[in-house]
Chain A
Amino acid sequence: MKNLGQLYGFEIRKIMKNRLTVVMLAVAFVFILIEAFIPKIYITEEMVESQIILDGTAIDDSLLQEMYPRLMDNGTRWTSENNRYEPIADLESNILPDGEKLSDYSADEMYRAREEVIFSMMNEDKLTDGELQWWKKEYSKTGTPFTYRFYQGGLNLAQGMTLTLMCIMLISALCLSTVFTVEHRQRTDQLVISCKNGRRETFFVKMAAGLSVVIGCCLVSSALLTLLILVLYGLNGMDGVVQLEIPLSAYPFTIGQFIFTQMIVMVTAAILFATFAMAMSEVFKNSLAVMGIMVGLFIFSQLELIPPQYRVPAQLRSMMPSNQISIWSLMEHRLVGIGGHFVTNYVASPVIYVLLSVLLIMIGKVAYDRFQVTGR
């Protein structure tokens, strides 16, 4: 009976006994705490109370007519008298062109303007007729008028996921890139690969251990962040539409559905980070190089280096984890077509991440199998 369980336990221990892992987990924990508590500084009780007043109100003509007389400087100046309308005014100004007077628009006109802008942006992104048809159907699923919900907790949670992803990336880069290289550095590779279970079994056990650590971190971080947000801000408004924050998005998601989708994408992104760190460190036999590549890729993926007219590379860039786990991913309307059917990036990205991870595992396995002890 193969004692893989024992080996797995030892590999987990090796990862967790690495002080760098402990430090990075502590850093991640601190940042999650900061991310959860910082909004408390500028979101006062007064603000919360005023914005909750409109919770559940339809954003229709009657609300807009109520708001317009109370706007100051076209919705850019807020006092305790009118700050309850700030989210509504922000939503409207995000839809309308810059400089437009908000009070010139009725609710119908606002929603029509929204539709025009969304489909105009889709044309600029070079969406095909098939994709446009697909979006027309999806667009109609989000009924108007929108219902305003106080969604501060949900928003903080969605924003916190971006930071959590960066923590997961750094944990993978700094801690998991040494899972294989530590054997070469400590010169234990000779002992390990001369053992019965030293090749295939050890490789897969190490991979499994690294993946477990990073998925565990991902889930625990998310759970911690969710718990803190729940306690500090509540999770009201999760059934509010995402258009309350990103009005020019055509996705028929609620905030809760969006967060759930992001969670799934984040777990698969964590798998990709982990397999990249482990496999590439075995290929290059250098954990520092892999750390540099991962941090570099994460940072450069933030840059708008690829113009939208180069659709495929631009879309691939938008699928990179740092761009996918972001509230702004709701503005990505390019689809992935498979045999006449279309799926969004939220469906395609996790699949691509998992497939890439499998490929990386295969590459890493080849490198590990080919390794021979020479030159010492």
Chain B
Amino acid sequence: MKLSVDRLSKQFRNKIAVDRVTFNLTEGVTGLLGANGAGKTTLMRMMTGILEPTSGDITADGIPVHTEEYRALLGYLPQDFGYYPEFTAREFVRYIAALKGLDKREAKRKTEELLELVGLSDVAGKKIKTFSGGMKQRLGIAQAIVNDPKILILDEPTAGLDPKERVRFRNMIAEIGKDTIVLFSTHIVSDIEHIASNVMMMRDGQIIYEGAWSDEQGDLEQFYMEEFE
């Protein structure tokens, strides 16, 4: 599968949040680095179809971003997502599965499988409002992959997680990335170093670096600090 972003721009009044961004992604994990206000979240929202671009195109194997077909391929974990406090973890994942078009039996099976995978099977019947931040984040990843997406977009998925949970998360993403296009944004350079085969850096709405990062190129964190000074 090929995810193409072609001259994508987004302007809010007198601020250009994303400025003529062009790139292509294939299966594997791509890390998106950038400071606050660089345009990462805006870019990701446009790639999920929840924000309309000012100009440019996004297609996945030719399927435009605003179609149901595209959304059927998509999994998304927003930076700051909400939940229904009265829903249990199980109900929440099943609800998202229904929204993603899974039939009842498949939704039930996948829900149990994913809750087991993210380590929430013992609290599956508990209400989400009782969950800690890390548990909510794990629930978030479960809902994002319930439909076995071909494109997975994660906006700062490790923010607020303790180091152990962060490692667990990284391993999960690395596993998923073997046959899925994964794009995840972060401030934490070490997250990218460990799992991303491809790196994109964003500043002031533009991609300033795109490609693999090898050890020969030096320390990624050092490069990042220099670029964003």
**Using an 8 Å CB-CB cutoff, how does the interface string of B80-97 with A read, 1 for contact, 0 for none?**
111111100001001110
Among A13, A17, A192, the residue within 8 A (CB) of B99 is: A192
Number of interface residues of B (CB under 8 A): 34
A185 vs B100: C-alpha distance in the bound complex, in angstroms? 22
- Give the interface centre of A6, A7, A185 by most chain B CB atoms within 10 Å: A6
A63 vs B94: C-alpha distance in the bound complex, in angstroms? 71
- Least distance between A26 CB and chain B CB atoms (Å): 18
Whether the pair A187, B81 counts as a contact (CB closer than 8 A) is yes
**Using a CB-CB cutoff of 8 Å, which residues 184-217 of chain A contact chain B?**
185-199, 202
Whether the pair B98, A191 counts as a contact (CB closer than 8 A) is no
A195 vs B99: C-alpha distance in the bound complex, in angstroms? 6
Whether the pair B98, A190 counts as a contact (CB closer than 8 A) is no
Among A14, A190, A199, A372, the residue within 8 A (CB) of B76 is: A190
Whether the pair A191, B52 counts as a contact (CB closer than 8 A) is no
A3 at interface, CB cutoff 8 A: yes
Whether the pair A196, B51 counts as a contact (CB closer than 8 A) is no
Q: Which residues of chain A come closer than 8 Å to B104, judged between CB atoms?
A: 3, 6
A10 at interface, CB cutoff 8 A: yes
- Least distance between B222 CB and chain A CB atoms (Å): 32
Whether the pair A2, B101 counts as a contact (CB closer than 8 A) is yes
Whether the pair B12, A10 counts as a contact (CB closer than 8 A) is no
**Using an 8 Å CB-CB cutoff, how does the interface string of A360-376 with B read, 1 for contact, 0 for none?**
00000000000011101
Whether the pair A6, B50 counts as a contact (CB closer than 8 A) is no
CB-CB nearest 5 A-B residue pairs = A187-B82, A195-B99, A186-B82, A6-B98, A196-B72
Residues on B lying within 8 angstroms of A by beta carbon are 12, 45, 48-52, 68, 71-72, 74, 76, 78, 80-86, 91, 94-96, 98-104, 107, 143, 147
Known: A186-B84, A188-B82, A191-B143. 18 other contacts (CB 8 A): A2-B101, A3-B103, A6-B94, A7-B99, A13-B91, A187-B80, A190-B45, A190-B48, A190-B76, A191-B76, A191-B99, A194-B48, A194-B49, A195-B74, A196-B74, A196-B147, A197-B98, A374-B12
A–B complex contacts, Cβ < 8 Å, 26 sampled = A1-B103, A2-B101, A6-B104, A10-B95, A10-B98, A17-B86, A185-B82, A186-B85, A187-B80, A187-B81, A187-B82, A188-B81, A190-B45, A190-B76, A191-B78, A191-B81, A191-B96, A191-B99, A194-B49, A194-B74, A195-B74, A195-B100, A196-B72, A197-B99, A372-B51, A373-B45
